Amino acid sequence: MKKLFALIITSLCLICQADDKLPAGVKPYPLDTCIVSDEKLGSMGKPVVFVFENQEIKLCCKDCRKDFDADPKKFLEKINNPSKEAKPSTPAAAPSQSGTVVQLTVDGLVCNFCASNITKTFTKLPEVSAVYVNLTAKAVLLQLKEGQKLPEEKTKQIVTDAGFNLRAITYPKDTFDTVKETLKKKTP
C-alpha cells in the first residue's frame, strides 16, 4: 500500500515537473510560430506540445501533428535553420502590409451568416481583393491589393462594428491560396 502511495506521489511529481520545465537534455522550442503551418502559436487554440528526438516541438493544432509525423525531418529543418525557414521568437519588425496576406482570428465566428457578414464587410473595402473565411479556424483571410495597407486599428474597428471581437492579426508569409488550402485542411 505504501509502495503504491509512493508511486502515485512520484508520478504526480514527474507530471508537475513536466508541466513546469523540460526534462534534462531536451532543447526548448525556439520559435513563436508553428513549424508546419507557420501560424502564430495560440492563434488556433492551445498549442500541441511534445518532445521529438530531444527537441521540444510546439504545433498550432492536432492536424499539424499528422503532417509533422509524416515527415519530421522536413519540419525540424525549420528549427535548425531558422534564418531560412521561420521567424525567430524574438520580436521582429512589423511586417510590411503592402500586397500582403492578412489573417484575422475572430471570436464569435460560429455560423454561416457570421461568415457571410464578415465576407461581405471586407469585400466592400477598396484595400481588399479577396476574402476567405474558415469557421473551423475562426480565421478571416484577406488578400490586400498591391500597394494597399489596412491598419490594424481600422481592421479591429471593422470587425467590432460587424459585431465580432478581433483576437489576433498575423501576416502569413505564404500566398493567399496556400494559406487558404492549409486552413481548408483543418476542416474536419
Partner 1 sequence: MVKSFLSILIGVLFMSISLKAQMISAPGINFLKAEYGHTFSYTEIGRSFTGFRSVGFGGYYFNTGEGKSIQVEAAIVNQLLKRWNTEDSQANIIVGAGVGRGRAGNREGWAGTVSFLADWENRRWHIMLQEQAVFVPSASRLVSTLMGGWAPWLAEYDEWAPWIYYTVQHENGDGVGLAHGPSLILMHEDLLLELRVMISDHGTHAEAGIRLLF
Residues that bind partner 1 (CB under 8 A): 45, 107-108, 110-121, 124, 133-136, 138, 160-165, 167, 184, 187-188
Closer to partner 1 at the Cβ: 96 or 112? 112
Closer to partner 1 at the Cβ: 26 or 125? 125
d(CA 98, CA 117): 25
Least separation in angstroms between residue 142's CB and partner 1 is 15
Is the CB of residue 142 less than 8 Å from the CB of residue 104?
A: yes
Least separation in angstroms between residue 163's CB and partner 1 is 4
- β strands within the chain, DSSP E: 48-52, 55-59, 101-107, 128-134, 139-144, 165-170
Is the CB of residue 109 less than 8 Å from the CB of residue 140?
A: yes
Closer to partner 1 at the Cβ: 51 or 162? 162
Closer to partner 1 at the Cβ: 48 or 118? 118
Closer to partner 1 at the Cβ: 89 or 119? 119
d(CA 32, CA 38): 9
Least separation in angstroms between residue 47's CB and partner 1 is 14
d(CA 84, CA 80): 9
Least separation in angstroms between residue 122's CB and partner 1 is 10
d(CA 179, CA 103): 9
- C-alpha closest to that of 57 among 44, 157, 132, 77: 77
Least separation in angstroms between residue 157's CB and partner 1 is 11
